[in-house]
Amino acid sequence: MNDPGLEQRIAEIHRRTVVIDGHCHLMKELMAKRDMGERALFRDYYCPLFRDVGIRAIMLITGGDNNSMIKGSDLMLWGTFDVIDYFNQELEECGDVIALCRSRLEIDEALQAGKLVVLFGIEGGRPLEGRPMYDSLSILRILYQLGVRSVQLTGNGRNRLADGIAEAGTNGGLTSFGTAVVKEMKKLKMLLDISHLAPAGVNDVLRLFDGPIVASHSNARAVCDHPRNLPDELIKEIAQRGGVVGLSLFSTLINKDNNLADVKDLIDHIDHICGLVGPDHVGLGPDFSEFSIQISQWTGNRGNMEGVQYGNKESYFHPDLKGWKQFPNITCELLTRGYPEKAIEKVLGGNFLRLYRQVLQ
């Protein structure tokens, strides 16, 4: 980018936009750094980084079906509590720059105060399972009281709520417990995330849940034929309900060739979705964390996760899309393709903000 005028225009867009990471895994790195003695990481590291590119809100993943999200623990509920505890320690140290938000009012107050909006989500329902052979909604309600506002029902595999995409061949939808969870989420006015969910489960969700839904980190299957991506009819259904598709920056979900997917490949997905449903239903759910340290106890080669192929670890992200600092590259390509600035603001965060404010009453 060697055009000063273009650079200034991009910087101005990011200054005035509430840029949102709709699927954020930074707790992996934060917890490892705190274990090594660092403190106040949001104030000293994350918030300055976010401020540089206009990120003012994140959907922070606090647990889920994969133990890499919770410091390697196989006890998914305990691990989720642990992640929340680590965050709450940061909140005590950095409450002047971050805010845990549970409602539209709290989101608006945090933005007005210039604080980073943090929303809690879980990526998979295993933390909700509780005791073996005993289904109860108590854990969902307790996590709600602790601040969790978004639930993705499954990872790639199977849990007691439903089948993930790796189990799609069984044609299994929501279990009776999964059905009860979805109904309780509707009652609590939570965000329901269908990323990773097998098609039969998605159909059950669409039948049971009449509110807006989100696919927080999934791309367009018509552009990249990967099982984790969404068919056009589902994208249209999400849009019709007022929901949002958050685009993953995982290279394998952007294109299927052997080359790293660059920013132009990513924008092909935005082009496709906007062509289907307009610019009001697409956002960014990058699914990365800028690890500045090696977190060996949590990460490994996730080339094959529960039966779904993602490629080799070194090929996850193109250098143009490897972290939050590269978000302006997305804006640059959107401008190059002629997107109006208002549409770009929606993609960068406006659509997710609208959804959060609508659902979290």
User: Residue 315 has what pLDDT?
Assistant: 57
> Is 305's pLDDT higher than 70?
no
Q: What is the rounded distance in angstroms from the CA atom of residue 52 to the CA atom of residue 120? A: 23
The HSE-up count of residue 215 (CA atoms within 13 Å, CB side) is: 30
Q: What is the mean pLDDT of the chain?
A: 92
Of residues 113 and 315, more confidently modeled: 113
Of residues 296 and 21, more confidently modeled: 21
Give me the mean pLDDT over the 147-174 stretch. 96
User: Residue 258 has what pLDDT?
Assistant: 64
Give me the mean pLDDT over the 190-207 stretch. 99
**Residues near 156 by beta carbon (within 8 Å), at least 6 away in sequence:** 65, 164, 165, 166, 196, 228, 305, 306, 307, 308
Give me the mean pLDDT over the 159-165 stretch. 96
User: Residue 106 has what pLDDT?
Assistant: 99
Q: How large a percentage of the chain has pLDDT more than 70?
A: 90
Give me the mean pLDDT over the 214-232 stretch. 98
> Is 297's pLDDT higher than 60?
no
The CA-based angle 150-156-160, given to 5 degrees, is 70
User: Residue 54 has what pLDDT?
Assistant: 99
User: Residue 64 has what pLDDT?
Assistant: 94
Residue 289 confidence class, pLDDT cut points 50, 70, 90: low
Thinking of the domain 16-359, which architecture would CATH place it in? Alpha-Beta Barrel (3.20)
Pairing assessment for the beta strands 19-24 and 55-64 based on DSSP bridges: parallel
Residue 132 confidence class, pLDDT cut points 50, 70, 90: confident
Q: Where are the domains of the chain?
A: 16-359
The CA-based angle 98-102-108, given to 5 degrees, is 65
Residue 131 confidence class, pLDDT cut points 50, 70, 90: confident
> Is 23's pLDDT higher than 50?
yes
User: Residue 1 has what pLDDT?
Assistant: 65
Could you identify the residue written with the tokens 């106040």?
Answer: 40
The HSE-up count of residue 348 (CA atoms within 13 Å, CB side) is: 31
Identify which of 60, 47, 42 has the alpha carbon closest to the alpha carbon of residue 147: 60
